[in-house]
Every structure is written in structure tokens, then in C-alpha cells.
Amino acid sequence: MALANADRPQATPLEVFKIAKKRWCQGKRISIGDLASEVGISRGTLYRWVGSKDLLMDEVFWAITEPAFAQAIKETPGHGIDHIIGVHRQFMKSILSFTSTQRFIKEEPSYALRLMTNPSSGVSARVIEATANHLRAQQAMGHLRFHSPPEKLAEIFILANQGIIYSDVISGRSPAIDKACELIRLLLTSSVTIEHKASSIKEN
């Protein structure tokens, strides 16, 4: 392998990540063996770099998920509960519109469900954290006041919504984004303090 790749630039973990992300965006499966061959290193070296295929997939999927979430926040007008629901509606539609996501769910449903909805996975934990930060920002600006910690609220409705959305897709049904948004509204409304509800009604 060393002789065959003598003229090739030395591979790096970042190069591996970029190739994996490119493969994902092209709708191709990510294989540790194929990646190792493409960059000219052994599978053992690649595993030492990425830890596992799951960890690599977490990074690849988050690289697509993070900007989609940020864009949804940027493009959704308003504030408070309606704004939060709008953000998640656009975010869910965006993620599910990716050809790579559709292929992944169709061809590897069990793996896709485990990777995308497992609370211990990097992707799920990061989406929960991003959602909690968004809730905290809305609270800091005075648009909402919660009697439950934002991170706990985020964890509950993200994990519940992931179950609704991805189980529908895997089952061949249209994703129930409206149902997921109804759940978000219910959870957020029940978590807003009575005082803030009263002031919001008075303002409207």
C-alpha cells in the first residue's frame, strides 16, 4: 500500500471527513473500507482517526443539519411559540428534502433510525442542544418565560418529533410534520408560565 501510494499527498482526518461528506451528499453509502482505500491508509488507521463509522456518520450528518437549523431560524419571522414552531417546521422539511437523507432512510432504515433518533448519538444530542439554545434566546429576549429548563423541553419534543417523523418515513408514509408541530405547540404552551401567558394575551 505504501509503494502504491508513494506519490499521493499524505491523508488527514479532515480529508477523510470531506470525502465522506461528499459521498453522503452524492447519495452514496459510506464504507470504512472504501474510504481507507480512497485516501491510501489502512482500515485500522482510519478507525483510529474516526473512532467508528457511527461517529463519522454523526459528524457528516451534523455538517448538513447544523446549517439547515441556522437557516430555519434566520428565515422564520416573528417570535415566541409561533416562531419556534415555524423554525422546526422548516428545519424538518429541509432535512427530509435532502436526497441523501431519503436514500439513507430507504436503504438502511434501522441504521438511519438508530443514528438519527438515539439520544446518545452525536446528531440527536447536538440538535437538542441547538434547540435549547434557541429556546434560551427567545426567553432572554423576553418573548417567552418557561417554568421548565429549556434543555429538558428541547429533549422532550425533539426526541418525540424524531420518532414521529422518521417512523413515518421508514414505514412509507408521508412524514407527519403537522402532527410534530402540534406536539411542539402543546409542550411549549404547557411550559410557559401563567404570568407570561396572561401578558401575551393582553398584548395581543
Instruction: Check whether 131 has a pLDDT greater than 90.
Output: yes
Average pLDDT, the chain: 84
- Whether residue 130 lies inside any domain: the answer is yes
User: The whole model's pTM is what?
Assistant: 0.81
> What's the chain's Rg over C-alpha atoms?
20
Per the structure, the count of domains in the chain is: 2
Burial of 129 (0-12, 13-18, 19+ CB in 10 A): middle
Instruction: Check whether 39 has a pLDDT greater than 90.
Output: no
Domain that holds residue 43: 13-50
User: Residue 92: which of 13, 201, 183, 176 has the closest Cα?
Assistant: 176
Both 24 and 117 in one domain: the answer is no
- Whether residue 88 lies inside any domain: the answer is yes
The set of residues, in sequence order, having a beta carbon less than 8 Å from that of 141 and lying 6+ positions away, is 79
Between 13-22, 136-145, 167-176, the lowest mean confidence (pLDDT) is in: 167-176
The CA-based diameter of the chain, rounded to the nearest angstrom, is 76
Instruction: Check whether 182 has a pLDDT greater than 70.
Output: yes
DSSP code for 149: -
What's 128's domain CATH number? 1.10.357
Instruction: Check whether 193 has a pLDDT greater than 80.
Output: no
Both 62 and 44 in one domain: the answer is no
For residue 129, give the C-alpha cell: 442542544
* Mean pLDDT for the stretch of residues 108-125: 80
- Whether residue 154 lies inside any domain: the answer is yes
Q: What is the pLDDT of residue 192?
A: 84
Both 112 and 26 in one domain: the answer is no
Rounded distance, CA 82 to CA 89, Å? 10
Model pLDDT for residues 42-85, shown as the tens digit of each residue: 999 999 999 999 999 999 989 999 999 999 999 999 999 999 99
Q: What is the pLDDT of residue 44?
A: 92
Both 189 and 94 in one domain: the answer is yes
